[in-house]
Structures are given as C-alpha cells and as structure tokens.
C-alpha cells in the first residue's frame, strides 16, 4: 500500500515509520492517523517484523501537535469520534506485543507528545521540546495525554504542565523519566537502531509477554504480578526457551523462531 502522509521502510526485522508532513511540522490529521493505523496493523501482522522505530520527517518536529485547522469547527459528536479514534490507535501501539520506539527530533507537542508517550521507549535529540499546550486553545488533550503524562512524570509536574501549557526541554524530560536518552541527532539514530537491532534478535514471544506484563502494571483491571507468574510458567513450554537455555549452556548465540 502506498501512503500519502507517512513513509514506511522495513529492514532487518524493524519497520521504520516516518510521519512525513514536514511543511506542517508533521501535525496529526485524519490522514496521518488513518495511515498510521494501517502501518501498525501491518507491523502486528508481519511475523518478519520484530518492532518499529517511529519518527517525524525533518529536524524541526517529531509531531508538533494536531492539525488545528482540520478540527476547529467540529461539533460534539465528531470531536468525540476523533478522540476515540486516537485513543484506540494509541492504545494499540502501547499494547503492541512488538516494541515501538519513538525517535524524537524536535517539537513534540499535544498529540505528538501523546503519540510519543504511547510508544514503549523514547530517544530524543538535544533540541527536542515536550508539552501538552491544549489549554492554550481552551481545550484538553484528547489522545490520553492527561493519563499518560501523569503516569510517566508523576501527578504534581504533570498537573503543572497540563494547566499551564508550558514546554520542557529534552534534559528536563530525561530527568523526569519521560524519555530514555538525550543524544545528538546522529547518535540518537544510531542508538535507536542499536536497541531495536538487539530486540530483533530476541524471542518475540518473550518480548511480547514482557511488554504485556509491563502494561498490566499500569492497568487497574489486571493483576500484573499474578499474570507474570502465569506467563513465566508458560514460557517454559516454548521452543524459544529451550533454544535459549540450550544455546546458553553450549556457549553460542540462540536462534529464536518465535515458537
């Protein structure tokens, strides 16, 4: 499938997904969200893909927010539908059994910050900035921002950023635990590739189960500790576990098959 708003390149078991609207600071519109959903669905359906790196075109913005001109005149029901679509898509990313790493390059605001927070890991360039400035429009975040921001950086600081609309730089985001690394542009790309290259060599079953269990920790409807016990036991029944332990004892690299 050809896309108009995103670019997708698959190599070495990793899908590189680039939001490609640099003239609009990669702002999210319905086209971007719809195509991103297809790309994530393809990632989940392709057994050859072990994970994804999600980024924005250019060096000014990962995603500088939503395309305000597109939704400024939405009525109540249409606005709710937009929010629900975003929630469903970002939940799909967050709950994916294949890790998605956000490679953040510049402004990461509003829906862009929400998208980055839905990813499992985040690497930012030194000039990146983060924020949920929706309050400046008399609005609130619509894609999970009020929940995920509090989850990652704690209630007091999240509340401050949400009600003021202020931005924070990459170093502060790192100190708050919002991102994994802050690096120069070339090193950030190298680090993202290195991490996902490691992931591609691991057991997809084990990786997927760990991602699900980490997600369970944040769910009020699931007992992550009990589920970890169950999934640990199930892991012993897999071919990948037998291969991993055998390779360890034989002092060689394992060759996992995802079974």
CB 169 within 8 A of CB 161: no
Give the three-state DSSP class for 152. helix
What is the model's pLDDT at position 216? 87
**Residue 185 and residue 168: Cα distance in Å, rounded?**
18
Instruction: Please name which of 103, 108, 97, 95 lies closest in space to residue 145, comparing C-alpha atoms.
Output: 108
Q: Hey, where are the domains in the chain?
A: 6-200, 204-249
What is the model's pLDDT at position 222? 66
Give the three-state DSSP class for 52. strand
Active site residue 255: no
CATH class for the region spanning 6-200: alpha beta
CB 108 within 8 A of CB 116: yes
What is the model's pLDDT at position 189? 96
What is the model's pLDDT at position 1? 64
pLDDT in tens, the chain (259 residues): 689 999 999 999 999 999 999 999 999 999 999 999 999 999 999 999 999 999 999 999 999 998 888 887 888 888 899 998 999 999 999 999 999 999 999 999 999 999 999 999 999 999 999 999 999 988 889 999 998 999 999 999 999 999 999 999 999 999 999 999 999 999 999 999 999 999 999 999 999 999 999 998 887 676 666 776 777 777 778 898 888 888 888 999 989 998 9
Vertex 139: Cα angle to 135 and 140 (nearest 5): 80
pTM for the model stands at 0.90
What is the model's pLDDT at position 220? 64
- Measured in residues, the chain has a length of 259
Q: Is 63 left (phi over 0), alpha (psi -120 to 50) or beta?
A: beta
**Residue 175 and residue 150: Cα distance in Å, rounded?**
15
Active site residue 114: yes
Instruction: Please name which of 69, 217, 56 lies closest in space to residue 122, comparing C-alpha atoms.
Output: 56
Question: Number of H helices and number of E strands within the chain?
Answer: 11, 10
Query: How far is the CA of 5 from the CAs of 17, 84, 99, 109, in angstroms?
Result: 11, 21, 22, 18
CB 98 within 8 A of CB 43: yes
Q: Which of 35, 94, 134, 231 is catalytic?
A: 134
β-bridge pairing 14-19 and 51-56: parallel
Q: Which of 114, 172, 237, 255 is catalytic?
A: 114
What is the model's pLDDT at position 241? 84
What is the model's pLDDT at position 183? 98
């Amino acid at each position: 499938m050809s896309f108009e708003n995103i670019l997708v390149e698959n190599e070495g078991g990793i899908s590189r997904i680039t939001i490609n609207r640099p003239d609009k600071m990669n702002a999210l519109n319905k086209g971007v969200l719809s195509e991103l959903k297809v790309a994530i669905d393809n990632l989940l359906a392709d057994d050859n893909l072990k994970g994804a790196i999600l980024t924005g075109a250019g060096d000014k913005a990962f995603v500088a927010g939503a395309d305000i001109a597109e939704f400024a005149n939405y009525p109540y029901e249409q606005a709710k539908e937009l929010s629900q679509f975003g929630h469903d898509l970002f939940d799909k990313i967050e709950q994916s059994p294949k890790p998605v790493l956000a490679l953040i390059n510049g402004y990461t605001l509003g829906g862009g910050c929400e998208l980055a927070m839905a990813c499992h890991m985040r690497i930012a360039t030194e000039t990146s900035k983060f924020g949920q400035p929706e309050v400046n429009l008399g609005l609130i975040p619509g894609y999970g921002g009020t929940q995920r921001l509090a989850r990652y950086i704690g209630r007091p600081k999240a509340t401050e950023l949400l009600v003021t609309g202020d931005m924070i730089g990459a170093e502060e985001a790192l100190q708050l635990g919002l991102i994994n690394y802050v690096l120069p542009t070339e090193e950030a790309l190298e680090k993202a590739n290195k991490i996902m290259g490691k992931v591609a060599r691991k057991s997809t079953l084990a990786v997927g189960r760990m991602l699900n269990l980490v997600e369970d920790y944040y769910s009020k409807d699931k007992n992550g500790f009990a589920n970890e016990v169950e999934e640990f036991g199930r892991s012993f029944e897999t071919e990948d576990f037998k291969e991993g332990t055998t390779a360890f004892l034989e002092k060689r690299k394992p060759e996992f098959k995802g079974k």
